[in-house]
Amino acid sequence: MRTLIVEDDFTARLTLQRFLSRYGECDVAVSGKEAVRAFRMASETGSGYDLVCMDIILPEMDGKEAVRQIRTLERERGILSSGGAKIIMTSALDDIRDVIRSFQELCDAYLVKPVNLGDLRTHLRAFGLV
C-alpha cells in the first residue's frame, strides 16, 4: 500500500506515518499544493497512491480543494473516484457541515482528530487495503 499523508501538524503527521508505514511506503506533504504536486508526480510515474490521509485545514490550499484537484487528476486519467485512491479526511473539526462537504468532494471517510488508530485500521480493512 502506498500512502500520502497530508498533515501540517508534526505530531499528527508522525503518528499517522508510524502507524501506516507498517502497511507500506508513506510519503508526506505539509500543504494542499504540495499534496496535489506529489499526487500528480506519483500518477505520472506509474506509482500512484492507494490511500491519501488529508487534513482539511492546511496552508496554501485547504484539504477540500486538494481533494477536488486530486479527483480531477484521476478523472483526466479515466479513473472514477470509486476506483481511485481512497481518501480519508482528517480534522479537529467535527461539525456535520464539514463532514458533508468532505463527502461531497468525494472523500471516502472522515476521521476526527486525534485520529483513533483502531478506527483508521477499520477503514483500511473496509477499503480492502490491508
CATH of the domain at 20: 3.40.50.2300
Q: pLDDT at residue 11 above 80?
A: yes
| pLDDT one-digit tens code per residue, 40-78 | 999 999 899 999 999 999 999 999 899 999 999 999 999
pLDDT bin (cut points 50, 70, 90) of residue 102 is low
User: Where in the sequence is the domain holding 80, given as residue range(s)?
Assistant: 3-126
* Confidence (pTM): 0.93
The confidence score (pLDDT) of residue 96 equals 65
Q: In the chain, count of helices (H) and strands (E)?
A: 5, 5
Work out how many domains the chain is built from and give that number. Answer: 1
Amino acid at 94: D
Per-residue confidence (pLDDT) for residue 8, from 0 to 100: 94
**Is the pLDDT score of 81 beyond 90?**
no
**Percent of the chain surpassing pLDDT 90:** 78
Sign of CA dihedral 83, 116, 18, 126: negative
| Span between the terminal Cα atoms of the chain, in Å | 8
Residue 87: pLDDT over 70 = yes
